[in-house]
Amino acid sequence: MNIIKILVILILIYFVYRLVRIFSSRRMVESRERTQAGARSGGEDLVQDPCCGVYVPKSQSYSRQIEGQTLYFCSRECCDNYLERKK
């Protein structure tokens, strides 16, 4: 009787241990995903230059309101080129 009780307790401990491990690893993955998502939205937003196709961080881009919408360029020259091409 005693041995069976001990075995049952050991099996229960084993299952609890496995559950804890599954939950902790899942939480680690979730937090890793959260930090990656945070880096993506909290960090630099990349915008594409419609003239040369280069991706530039929004804060470093040259933005210009054209026909009611904001366009982002890698440089002023690109913006001028774009406007030249539109004509």
- The site for Zn ion (CB under 5 A) is made up of 49, 51-52, 54, 74, 78
Beta strands per DSSP E along 2-52: 46-48
Of residues 25 and 63, the one with the C-beta less far from Zn ion: 63
For residue 79, the minimal CB distance to Zn ion (Å) is 8
Of residues 24 and 77, the one with the C-beta less far from Zn ion: 77
For residue 41, the minimal CB distance to Zn ion (Å) is 24
* CA distances (Å), origin 48, targets 52, 53, 57, 86: 9, 6, 9, 17
